[in-house]
């Protein structure tokens, strides 16, 4: 590769730390990212298992679940799921997926792994704080996982933990499980805050010379704004979880209406955190998809600046829309209409991003490699999920569909169809830089197509169920006369869900196989422009011997002056001005 | 950046301000014959005044660049939005 | 900094560095952390404001349940320790090691005394019957509630919000005292801070002043209003 001749020098000296410092209590941002990857893939799998049990109960109520015999009598006697266990399932599925799978996958893995590599830093600004962030998340995960095994069972108030059900053990019937949920969330909040302050400081202060703000890859922009959201939203949740914990244990009355507390206060606190959280779960996916689509289209991203401003606008507006989760809670209707307007407004920057992705692909030299396939699926699925989001933003529409399967369909279209497809793409794309091997392209495609098909078969009919009034967390739909006609559809969804789950084993097998037996990766297997591709695969400890100098933006594909169709950020063409040293990096 | 014996702000004078303002607050709350609402506004004003003194002089925000000041200011509108919105629950 | 971060630090220009927002990493990181702390206290204080605004009836008038003179003294202590912190910062900026040690130690003492007085205050409040769930049965305060000096309907909220807010502030003060004690023995006494590099003093100072700032707000809205 001639154009890579000027590549900056990687860290050459051998890394001589002992195993424990290198892979377990590591302060290297790449190792921490990989630790987060394994942790969150475990919880993703666990959340999937819980989802399968939910689907069994919905599709085949009253029939013993195959393999349900291994569950204890208190959960599923004879394989028949109990209602008390079912509500734990939906609660813990949501909790695991949102807090321990998607959020760490996007932020824990990719903010850690990509930010220093893409901005040209040796490591995070505070490597030890970064390690603390992982171990706090690990502890949080352990506590949440342990809560599945306590005698009364796990938390039972839904992943949103609405008071008073969550605040009063006599109502929920799960004292310890609820308390462990709160403790775990406080720990997770700590982890996120430590992580976020690291990401923000690193992006602001530690960019390589020439890496001005408007030369940052969109993935870094998205992760940066996400970090700001996490930094400011998670403490609110931690505070709320602490108040909830006090309500359960030492008898305070924050959410206890008879003693003057306000149940709506919990909802305000939770969603004041919760809506920025929604964007924490989608913004990094949007950013990474922008990178993948530009790479797959071999074209500069369409409207880079508008993409950046859209990310910032989404980040800002996400603080003004939380009330749309509460239209049916009996909150102040004047406030409700304000929230309706702001929610409709937030569709604008999202639409700008969507059209920019389409504009990028338009007349591009499309290469449908696995990351690109997943990225395109992200765009398509996000549009469906985003549009149903606009439905719900309108109060009159929200009233009948609130708390129905329509909402379930929407959240899964944006979180599974959106974030998770983006993650499949991102995992495949950066796998070489993480592990030095390439994931199998063939098995990646074999995984992608059934996942895409079954995903739609599972979640699209849920819109119909929701319009028919199928409530969200009910135990047995067949006891309602008006839901009986929908039971065949429910059963169909369940069968498709089992197939969807089974398909994920292809991904798992591909992942594990490639880890040990995959093709050795070359330095720049995707012919991409980011700084991380100037390093050998896998990237060495300490990254660069000397940080690279950045000469241009990250999306210079098919550049007329370049020999190949990519022109990396670190390659100096004749006539490129030399950026000022460390001072010039202030941008 | 910092050279030998640069000029420091009058920290002890600010300490005196803080002390006097606290004394004024206590006097206002318990001794002075104002109505509750007037007291409320005056007390909040005094608290903000004290907080500003600490932030501007002790935390050196007065001498920092705008980049950093923005960081300190960013959470405040969010806090105000949350509290104002949640309060309206009690108003309708 | 230990060897863990040495690799990364060796690459950075020595203090003071002027990149990004022209603040060195730890200072910027502390400001970012304080932004998240603001949001944490927004959650707690905001809940207090919302609950008090929507309380079912009158709130207990200031000065009846809580001991104002003791807390006023405590406020004074914290303000003093804040000013001694900034004096320590000014001392080392002028290269004065001796005054750095004196002022730094005074700051730690002020913080520790604040925590001590707060524990004393809590013990007395609990003794008089004021607990997080409200008023304990058969206590001195329960009699006051019975004879109408204190409103029965809002005492539960009063206890919940009071102990949560001041408790978490006290927790922050304790964290500050612990970390300053650590810095005192590891860095200040051995004279590791110099006129050229006193980043740690500035950063821990930022945290300490923030804790003081939160107390200024809390003292007014919890004790005086």
Rounded CA gap, A46 and C75, in Å? 50
In a domain, B47, yes or no: yes
Which of B13, B17, B22, B38 is most worth mutating to test chain C (most C CB atoms within 10 A of its CB)? B22
Mean pLDDT of C3-9: 40
Strand-pair partners of A544: A10
Measured from the Cβ of residue B80, the count of other Cβ atoms closer than 10 Å reads: 12
**CB contact C212 to B (< 8 Å):** yes
Give the residue from C194, C198, C220, C222 with the most B CB atoms within 10 Å of its CB, the best one to mutate. C220
Do A253 and C164 make contact, defined as CB atoms within 8 angstroms? Answer: no
In C, minimum Cα distance to B38 occurs at C225
CB contacts of B85 in chain A (<8 Å) are 268, 323, 335
CB contact under 8 A, C220 and B47: yes
pLDDT at C5: 43
Which tokens in the block code for residue A534?
């100037």
Instruction: Give C 51-80 residues with CB within 8 A of chain B.
Output: 53-54, 62-63, 68, 72, 75-76, 79-80
Q: What is the pLDDT of residue B31?
A: 84
| Contact flag C93-B57 (C-beta cutoff 8 Å) | no
Question: How close C145 comes to chain B (CA, Å)?
Answer: 21
C43/A239 Cβ within 8 A = yes
Taking each helix axis from N to C end, the angle separating C25-53 and B75-87, rounded to the nearest 10 degrees, works out to 10
Report the SS3 class of residue C130.
Answer: strand
Residue A537's pLDDT band, with cuts at 50, 70 and 90, is confident
Q: How high is the pLDDT of residue B5?
A: 53
Taking the C-alpha atoms of residue B61 and residue B63, their distance in angstroms, rounded to an integer, is: 5
Give the CA distances from residue C150 to residues A258, C163, C225, in Å, rounded to whole numbers and listed in that order. Answer: 18, 18, 15
Residue range A35-45+83-277, CATH number? 1.20.210.10
Residue A126, classed as helix, strand or coil, is coil
Nearest CA in chain C to B57: C86
**Over pLDDT 70: what percentage of chain C?**
90
State the average pLDDT over residues C49-64: 89
| pLDDT per position as a tens digit, B11-45 | 999 999 999 999 999 999 888 888 888 999 999 99
- B75: nearest CA partner in chain A: A232
Chain C environment of B67 (Cβ under 8 Å): 20-23
Nearest CA in chain A to B74: A232
Query: Can you give the residue ranges of every domain in chain A?
Result: 35-45+83-277, 282-519, 522-587
pLDDT band at residue A74 under the 50/70/90 scheme: confident
pLDDT at residue number A481: 93
Question: Can you tell me which residue has the tokens 């409103």?
Answer: C151
Q: What angle do CA A370, A103, A428 make, to 5 degrees?
A: 15
Q: Distance between CA atoms of C71 and A390, rounded to whole angstroms?
A: 52
d(CA C225, CA C221): 5
Query: Does an H or E element contain C134, and which?
Result: strand C134-135
Average per-residue pLDDT for chain A: 91
Please determine, for residue A552, whether its predicted confidence score (pLDDT) is greater than 60. Answer: yes
**Count of beta carbons in the 10 Å neighbourhood of residue A251:** 16
Tell me the C-alpha distance between A23 and A35, whole Å: 8
Instruction: Encode pLDDT of A85-110 as tens digits.
Output: 999 999 999 999 999 999 999 999 99
What token pair was written down for A364?
């591009």
pLDDT greater than 80 at residue C7: no
Q: C98 to chain A, minimum CA–CA distance in Å?
A: 30
Pairing of strands C130-131, C134-135: antiparallel
Q: What is the pLDDT of residues A458-501, one digit of tens each?
A: 999 999 999 999 999 999 999 999 999 999 999 999 999 999 99
Give the pLDDT confidence score for residue A10 in this predicted structure: 66
- A-contacting residues in B 60-79 (Cβ below 8 Å): 74-75, 78
A-interface mutation test, from B70, B89, B92, most A Cβ less than 10 A away: B89
Contact C50 A265 (CB under 8 A): yes
CB within 8 Å: A320 and B81: yes
Q: What are the residues whose beta carbons fall under 8 Å from the beta carbon of A302, sequence distance 6 or more? A: A356, A357, A358, A359, A360, A362
Answer for the pair A545, A167: CB distance below 8 angstroms, yes or no: no
Chain B CB within 8 Å of residue C209 CB: yes
Q: What is the ipTM, given to two decimal places?
A: 0.91
Dist CA C213 CA B56 (whole Å) = 11
- Asked if the model's pLDDT at residue A358 lies above 90, the reply is yes
**Bigger pLDDT: A287 vs C57:** A287
CA pair distance C151, A325, nearest whole angstrom = 35
Concatenating the DSSP letter of every residue in A155-183 gives --STTTT-TTTTT-HHHHS-HHHHHHHHH
**What span, in angstroms and rounded, lies between the C-alpha atoms of A193 and C36?**
7
Asked if A453 and A500 count as a contact pair (C-beta separation under 8 A), the reply is no
Q: B86 vs A323: CB contact, 8 Å cut-off?
A: no
How many other CB atoms are found less than 10 A from the CB of residue C66? 19
CB A539 within 8 A of CB A433: yes
**Closest by alpha carbon to B47, among B28, B73, B62?**
B28
B74, B75, B88: residue with CB nearest A335: B88
Q: Give the span between the Cα atoms of C167 and C170, in whole angstroms.
A: 5
For residue A264, which residues of chain B lie inside 8 Å, CB to CB?
A: 89
Tokens of A451: 């996942």
Please give the average per-residue pLDDT across A495-516, as a whole number.
Answer: 96
- Strands A519-520 and C130-131, sheet pairing: unpaired
Partners of C131 in the beta sheet?
C134
Q: Which pLDDT score is estimated for A583?
A: 40
Question: Exposed/middle/buried for A123, CB within 10 Å: 0-12, 13-18, 19+?
Answer: buried
Give the list of residues 6+ apart from residue A54 with CB closer than 8 angstroms, or none: A86, A89, A90, A93
Q: How many residues does chain A have?
A: 587
What is the DSSP secondary structure assignment for residue A584, as one 8-state letter?
A: G
What residues pair up with A10 in beta bridges, in sequence order?
A: A544
Is the Cβ pair A27, C20 closer than 8 Å? no
Residues facing A471 on adjacent strands: A404
CB contact under 8 A, C160 and A198: no
Rounded distance between C-alpha atoms, residue A149 and residue A63, angstroms: 24
Domain assignment of residue B18, yes or no: yes
pLDDT of residue C13: 36
Within 10 A of A234 (CB to CB), how many other CB atoms are there? Answer: 28
Cβ of residue B3 closer than 8 Å to a chain A Cβ: no
From the list A296, A539, A289, A540, the residue with the least C-alpha distance to A433 is A539
* Nearest residue in B to A331, CA atom: B89
Alpha carbon distance C221, C218 (integer Å): 5
Question: What's the rounded Cα separation, in Å, for the pair A497 and A48?
Answer: 10
CB contact under 8 A, B1 and C72: no
The helix (run of H) or strand (run of E) holding residue A451 is: helix A441-467
Q: In the predicted model, what is the mean pLDDT of chain C?
A: 88
Pick from A201, A207, A250: CB nearest C25: A201
Instruction: Determine whether the interchain pair C35/A261 forms a contact, defined as Cβ–Cβ distance below 8 Å.
Output: no
In this complex, do C43 and A207 lie within 8 Å of one another by their Cβ atoms?
no
Which residues of chain C does B62 touch, with a Cβ-Cβ cutoff of 8 Å? none
C134/A204 touch (CB, cutoff 8 Å), yes or no: no
Q: Sign of the C-alpha dihedral, residues C92, C97, C103, C109?
A: positive
Least confident span in A244-258, A572-586, B71-85, C83-97: A572-586
Q: Are C46 and C78 in contact (CB under 8 A)?
A: no
State the pairing for strand pair A519-520/C134-135.
unpaired
**Cβ distance B57 to C87 under 8 Å?**
no
Contact B78 A265 (CB under 8 A): no
- Contact: C50, B83; criterion CB under 8 Å: yes
More confident residue, C8 or A120: A120
> Do residues A393 and A449 lie in contact, with contact meaning Cβ atoms separated by under 8 Å?
no
Whether omega for the bond prior to residue A253 falls within 30 degrees of 0, making it cis, is no
Q: Tell me how crowded residue C175 is: count the other CB atoms within 10 A of its CB.
A: 13
What is the tally of structural domains in chain B? Answer: 1
Which residues in chain C touch residue A201, judged by CB atoms under 8 angstroms apart?
25, 28-29, 32
Residue B36 to chain C, least CA–CA distance (Å): 9
| Segment C102-155, tens digit of pLDDT | 999 999 999 999 999 999 999 999 999 999 999 999 888 999 999 888 998 899
Task: Give the nearest chain A residue to B85 (CA atoms).
Answer: A335
Inter-chain residue contact C29 with A262, CB threshold 8 Å: no
How many angstroms separate the CA atoms of C24 and A246, rounded?
Answer: 39
- Angle in degrees, 0-180, between the axes of helices B36-53 and B11-30, rounded to the nearest 10: 170
Nearest to A81 by CA among A112, A104, A59: A59
8 Å CB contact between C209 and C85: yes
Alpha helices in A485-579 (DSSP H): 487-517
* Domain housing B85: 11-91
CA dihedral of A274, A276, A277, A278, whole degrees rounded to 10: 90
Q: What is the DSSP letter of A438?
A: E
Q: What is the mean pLDDT of residues A2-14?
A: 53
- Greater pLDDT, A52 or A563: A52
Among candidates A390, A280, A401, which has minimal Cα distance to A346?
A390
pLDDT at A28 (0 to 100): 92
- Which residue's structure tokens are 């999202």? A350
The beta-strand segments (E) located in C141-206 are: none
Disruptive mutation site among B1, B75, B77, B85 for chain A (greatest number of A CBs within 10 Å): B85
If you measure CA to CA, which chain B residue comes closest to A586?
A: B67
Bond into C91 cis (ω within 30): no
The band of A11, judged by pLDDT with boundaries at 50, 70 and 90, is low
List the one residue out of C220, B89, C196, C117 whose CA is nearest residue A332.
Answer: B89
pLDDT tens, residue by residue, C202-224: 999 999 999 999 999 999 999 99
Domain A282-519 in the same topology as domain A35-45+83-277? yes
> Phi, psi at residue C8, to the nearest 5°?
-65, -40
CATH architecture entry for A282-519: Up-down Bundle (1.20)
Considering the domain boundaries, does residue B80 fall inside one? yes
Q: Which domains does chain C have, with CATH numbers?
A: 17-224 (1.20.120.80)
Q: Tell me which residue in C18, C54, C75 faces B89 most closely, judged by beta carbons.
A: C54
Instruction: For residue A3, name the pLDDT band (cuts at 50, 70, 90).
Output: very low
Point out the residue among C36, C46, C205 whose CB comes nearest to the CB of B82: C46
In the predicted model, what is the mean pLDDT of residues A207-227?
94
User: Residue B81: its chain A contacts at CB < 8 A?
Assistant: 319-320
DSSP state for residue A68 in the 8-state scheme: G
Kindly give the pairing relationship between strand A437-438 and strand C134-135: unpaired
């Amino acid at each position: 590769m001639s154009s890579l001749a000027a590549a900056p020098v990687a860290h050459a000296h051998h890394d001589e730390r002992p195993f424990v410092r290198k892979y377990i209590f590591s302060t290297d941002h790449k190792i921490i990212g990989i630790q987060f990857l394994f942790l969150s893939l475990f919880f993703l799998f666990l959340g999937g298992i819980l989802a399968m049990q939910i689907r069994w109960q919905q599709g085949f109520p009253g029939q013993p679940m195959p393999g349900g015999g291994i569950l204890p009598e208190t959960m599923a006697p004879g394989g028949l799921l109990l209602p008390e266990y079912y509500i734990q399932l939906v609660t813990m599925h949501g909790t695991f997926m949102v807090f321990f799978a998607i959020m760490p996958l996007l932020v824990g893995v990719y903010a850690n792994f990509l930010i220093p590599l893409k901005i040209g830093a040796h490591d995070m600004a505070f490597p030890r704080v970064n390690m603390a962030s992982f171990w706090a998340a690990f502890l949080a995960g352990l506590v949440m996982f342990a809560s599945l095994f306590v005698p009364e069972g796990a938390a039972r108030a839904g992943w949103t933990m609405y008071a008073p059900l969550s605040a009063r053990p006599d109502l929920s019937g799960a004292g310890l499980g609820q308390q462990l949920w709160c403790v775990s969330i406080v720990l997770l909040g700590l982890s996120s805050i430590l992580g976020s302050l690291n990401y923000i400081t690193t992006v602001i202060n530690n960019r390589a010379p020439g890496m001005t703000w408007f030369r940052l890859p969109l993935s870094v922009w998205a992760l940066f704004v996400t970090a700001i959201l996490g930094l400011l939203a998670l403490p609110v949740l931690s505070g709320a979880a602490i108040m909830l914990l006090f309500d359960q244990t030492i008898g305070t009355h924050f959410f206890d209406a008879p003693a003057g507390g306000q149940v709506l206060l919990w909802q305000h606190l939770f969603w004041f955190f919760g809506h920025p959280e929604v964007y924490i779960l989608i913004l990094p996916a949007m950013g990474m998809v922008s990178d993948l689509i530009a790479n797959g289209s071999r074209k500069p991203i369409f409207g880079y600046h508008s993409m950046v401003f859209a990310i910032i606008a989404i980040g800002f507006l996400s603080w003004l829309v939380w009330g749309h989760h509460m239209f049916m809670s009996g909150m102040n209707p004047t406030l409700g209409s304000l929230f309706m307007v702001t929610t409709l407004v937030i569709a604008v920057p999202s639409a700008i991003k969507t059209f920019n992705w389409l504009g990028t692909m338009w007349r591009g030299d499309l290469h449908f490699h696995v990351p690109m396939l997943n990225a395109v699926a992200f765009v398509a699925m996000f549009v469906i999920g985003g549009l149903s989001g606009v439905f719900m933003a309108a109060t009159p529409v929200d009233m009948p569909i609130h708390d129905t399967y329509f909402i379930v369909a929407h959240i899964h279209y944006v979180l599974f169809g959106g974030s998770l497809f983006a993650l499949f793409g991102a995992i495949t794309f950066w796998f070489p830089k993480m592990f030095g091997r390439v994931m199998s392209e063939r098995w990646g495609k074999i995984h992608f197509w059934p996942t895409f098909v079954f995903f739609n078969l599972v979640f699209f009919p849920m819109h119909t169920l929701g319009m028919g009034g199928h409530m969200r967390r009910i135990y047995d739909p067949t006891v309602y006369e008006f839901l009986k006609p929908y039971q065949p559809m429910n059963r169909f969804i369940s069968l498709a869900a089992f197939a969807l789950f089974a398909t994920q084993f292809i991904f798992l097998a591909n992942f594990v196989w490639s880890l040990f037996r995959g093709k050795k990766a070359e330095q720049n297997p995707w012919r991409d422009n980011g700084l991380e591709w100037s390093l050998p695969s896998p990237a060495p400890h300490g990254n660069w011997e000397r940080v690279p100098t950045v000469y241009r933006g990250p999306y210079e594909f098919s550049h007329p002056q370049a020999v190949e169709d990519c022109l990396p950020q670190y390659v100096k063409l004749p006539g490129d001005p030399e950026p000022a040293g460390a001072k010039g990096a202030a941008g | 950046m910092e050279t030998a014996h640069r000029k420091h702000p009058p920290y002890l004078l600010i300490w005196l301000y803080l002390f006097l303002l606290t004394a004024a607050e206590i006097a206002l709350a318990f001794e002075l014959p104002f109505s509750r609402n007037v007291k409320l506004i005056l007390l909040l004003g005094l608290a903000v005044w004290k907080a500003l003194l600490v932030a501007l002089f002790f935390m050196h925000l007065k001498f920092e660049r705008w980049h950093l000041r923005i960081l300190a200011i960013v959470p405040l509108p969010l806090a105000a939005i949350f509290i104002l919105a949640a309060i309206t629950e009690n108003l309708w | 900094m230990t060897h863990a971060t040495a690799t990364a630090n060796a690459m950075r220009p020595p203090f003071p560095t002027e990149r990004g927002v022209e603040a060195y990493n730890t200072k910027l990181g502390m400001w970012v952390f304080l932004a998240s702390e603001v949001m944490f206290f927004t959650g707690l204080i905001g809940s207090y404001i919302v609950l008090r605004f929507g309380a079912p009836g009158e709130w207990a008038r200031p000065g009846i349940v809580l001991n104002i003179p003791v807390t006023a003294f405590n406020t004074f202590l914290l303000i003093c320790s804040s000013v001694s912190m900034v004096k320590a910062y000014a001392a080392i900026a002028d290269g004065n090691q001796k005054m750095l040690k004196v002022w730094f130690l005074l700051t730690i003492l002020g913080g520790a005394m604040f925590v001590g007085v707060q524990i004393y205050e809590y013990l007395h409040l609990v003794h008089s019957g004021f607990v997080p769930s409200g008023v304990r049965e058969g206590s001195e305060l329960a009699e006051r509630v019975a004879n109408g000096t204190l409103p029965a309907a809002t005492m539960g909220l009063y206890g919940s919000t009071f102990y949560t807010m001041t408790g978490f502030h006290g927790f922050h003060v304790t964290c500050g005292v612990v970390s300053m004690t650590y810095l005192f023995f590891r860095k200040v006494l051995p004279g590791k801070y110099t006129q050229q590099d006193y980043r740690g003093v500035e950063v821990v100072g930022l945290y300490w002043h923030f804790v003081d700032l939160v107390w200024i707000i809390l003292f007014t809205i919890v004790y005086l209003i």
